[in-house]
Amino acid sequence: MDVVLSYNTIECLPDPLEMLAEVARVLRPGGRAVIAHVDFDSMVIAGADADLDRRVCHAFADDAQSWMDHADGRIGRKLGLLLAYSPLDLVGVEPLLVWSTEFTGHAKDRVDQIRKALLSAARHGRGAVAPEEVEAWYTSVRDADQLGGFFFSELAFIAVAEKTRSGRIGHGAGSHDGRRAAPVGAGSMLHLPTAA
């Protein structure tokens, strides 16, 4: 492969380094991986009640929805390090900010998704926010839009890494798939499974 592109998926994987090892295997020498993800814990929604807003945004970022094997709402900020500990060579990380002052399009889709996910979480006993609080938050967001005080932003990170031109996978870290062993501290901060 010349390029592998992954968007908003790696947070769902219990072992993201396993996926990156497979990406390294299928890339040609000099091929690139583009791994992008929203950092859901960085979402800003203004216009709603501040305390409720913080709780709702953090609860959404932390919730592993029923279709997810794993969730990490802070994966965006970790992409650079994940790639640095993969068999690939990190080229760089770019931020991408999406914002809106109108409750339409992507901003509305995301707010609607948060409402649905947190109501479902409450129904399934994972509710960090009570259903009536979710609805109060949703109403306050819509009220803010009616009054001209709505703002939404979402920060994604786009990490790019390259397979070394020699075709050699990895950097001689000693594991069969070329993973670099993450230092113990960094590995636990990233919540990485221990490399084999």
Binding footprint of ligand SAM on the chain (CB under 6 A): 7-9, 12-13, 68-69
Terminal-to-terminal C-alpha distance of the chain: 26
Residue 141 Cβ vs ligand SAM, minimum distance, rounded to whole Å: 22
Residue 10 Cβ vs ligand SAM, minimum distance, rounded to whole Å: 9
Decide whether 83 or 144 has the Cβ nearer to ligand SAM.
83
Decide whether 48 or 107 has the Cβ nearer to ligand SAM.
107
Residue 155 Cβ vs ligand SAM, minimum distance, rounded to whole Å: 16
Residue 135 Cβ vs ligand SAM, minimum distance, rounded to whole Å: 24
Residue 168 Cβ vs ligand SAM, minimum distance, rounded to whole Å: 27
Burial 132-157, CB ≥16 within 10 A → b, else e: ebbebbbebbbebbeeeebbbebbbb
Residue 165 Cβ vs ligand SAM, minimum distance, rounded to whole Å: 28
Decide whether 50 or 67 has the Cβ nearer to ligand SAM.
67
Decide whether 13 or 136 has the Cβ nearer to ligand SAM.
13
Decide whether 71 or 119 has the Cβ nearer to ligand SAM.
71
- What is the phi/psi pair of residue 44, to 5°? -120, 125
Decide whether 9 or 139 has the Cβ nearer to ligand SAM.
9
Using Cβ positions, the residue closest to ligand SAM within the complex turns out to be 12
Please provide the DSSP assignment of the chain as one string: --EEEEES-GGG-S-HHHHHHHHHHHSPTT-EEEEEEE-GGG-EEESS-HHHHHHHHHHHHH---TT-S---TT-GGGHHHHHHTSSSEEEEEEEEEEEESSSSHHHHHHHHHHHHHHHHHHHTT--SS-HHHHHHHHHHHHHHHHTT--EEEEEEEEEEEE--TT---S-S-SSTT-PPPPPHHHHHHTTPPPP-
